[in-house]
Amino acid sequence: MLSKQELRIAAFATAIIAFAATSGSALAQKKYDAGATDTEIRIGNIMPYSGPASAYGVIGKTEEAYFNKINAEGGINGRKITFISYDDAYSPPKAVEQARKLVESDEVLLIFNSLGTPSNSAIQKYLNAKKVPQLFVATGATKWNDPKDFPWTMGWQPSYQSEARIYAKYVIKEKPDAKIAVLYQNDDFGKDYLKGLKDGLGAKTSMIVAEESYETSEPAIDGHIVKLRASGADVFVSITTPKFAAQAIKKLAEIEWKPLYIIANVSASVGGVMKPAGFENAQGILSAAYAKDGADLQWDSDPGMKKFYAFLEKYFPEANKLDGSVVYGYGAAQTMARVLQMCGDNLTRENVMKQAASLKDFTPDTLLPGIKINTSATNFTPIDQLQMMRFKGEKWDLFGDIISGELSN
């Protein structure tokens, strides 16, 4: 029989072994790639803080403020976020330069919500070759939903083609004899929308009687608008970024052209487009939404928007709550934070993508009721639902049902 002293020694030894095993297990569970440690997660971002799409720069500022909020509250699983955001002036070559800097010099874990179809197209192959997540890109190009060929790239917002198909269905229903004029940006962004519109019209593609493309380097698009009006069109579809969307609204008012007017969601911001264009000029314009409107009083008592307004007051007081880009940045950052929480202590790039592709009915504070984020290994389109809306007074009025742009019927 063992003595009391021997029993104590044996118990102590057992405790030491158990502790060592537990500690070893805990250490083994922690997996990191470049950009992650016990105390930090480094996230890269590329935004057009200057150039023709600079109105979108506030998205990056909002995301920076959101991650400051996360850090002030203790970080994610005890780790602080280091958000490194660079300007590419909406220039693809500059985007490539900044992406390389983020990956090779700053050694970020991932690149998050970089903006613009041309810029993201320019860096997609590089990031996939490097196996660096290109996560929740800030563009609705359909190409981001291609997990087979580009497993490291994922979109966030509804695809441009899905949105455009919804507009096509609306026009066919409301104006079956319509003559449609389209103004579109001459890049992947504009062409993607145009394809969706034509696909949605199907056998009725001949309803499009005029198309005009513009370059982002153009100072103004007035000449294009005048040419489109001369086509005799009674429906105008504006596939434009904010600067040019505001110009178009003003020009239509100036020449007193009053077609059924549809504007792409990316330029439906009240503060960023409608206000500068003049509320009186924007009356009756149609678009579609998936996020709540910060200018709409109906959301003042909404629990999610209360959190959003509290965030702005404390962490981004200079922000314009009327700007849809601010709402966008908040929702995207909240989704990114959710994925990192799901990663736990396995902060490898592979696990980041695995968790991003495992979102189930996630609802950021700013999405419209009924719209949820869902992803899978074969579905890299987190949001695929929208609701039609009409501009009235100084805000958008929602109408109709929540619609999936992926539906073919």
Q: What structural domains and CATH numbers belong to the chain?
A: 33-158+300-378 (3.40.50.2300), 160-289+388-404 (3.40.50.2300)
CA 61 to chain centre: 14
What number is the average pLDDT over the span 377-406? Answer: 91
Question: Which 3 state secondary structure label does DSSP give 268?
Answer: coil
What are the CA-CA distances from residue 382 to residues 196, 291, 348 (Å)?
18, 13, 21
What CA–CA distance (Å, rounded) separates 391 from 406?
A: 25
- pLDDT at residue 321, rounded to an integer: 85
For residue 26, name the pLDDT band (cuts at 50, 70, 90).
very low
pLDDT at 357 over 50: yes
pLDDT at 23 over 60: no
Helix-, strand-, coil-residue percentages of the chain, each rounded to 5: 45, 20, 35
What number is the average pLDDT over the span 201-211? Answer: 97
- pLDDT at residue 5, rounded to an integer: 59
Of 26 and 71, the structure prediction assigns the larger pLDDT to: 71
Where is 287: in which H helix or E strand? strand 286-289
Point out the least confidently predicted range of 7-21, 112-126, 132-146, 215-229: 7-21
What CA–CA distance (Å, rounded) separates 164 from 242?
A: 17
Q: Are 235 and 178 in contact (CB under 8 A)?
A: yes
What number is the average pLDDT over the span 140-160? Answer: 95
- pLDDT at residue 38, rounded to an integer: 97
What number is the average pLDDT over the span 195-214? Answer: 96
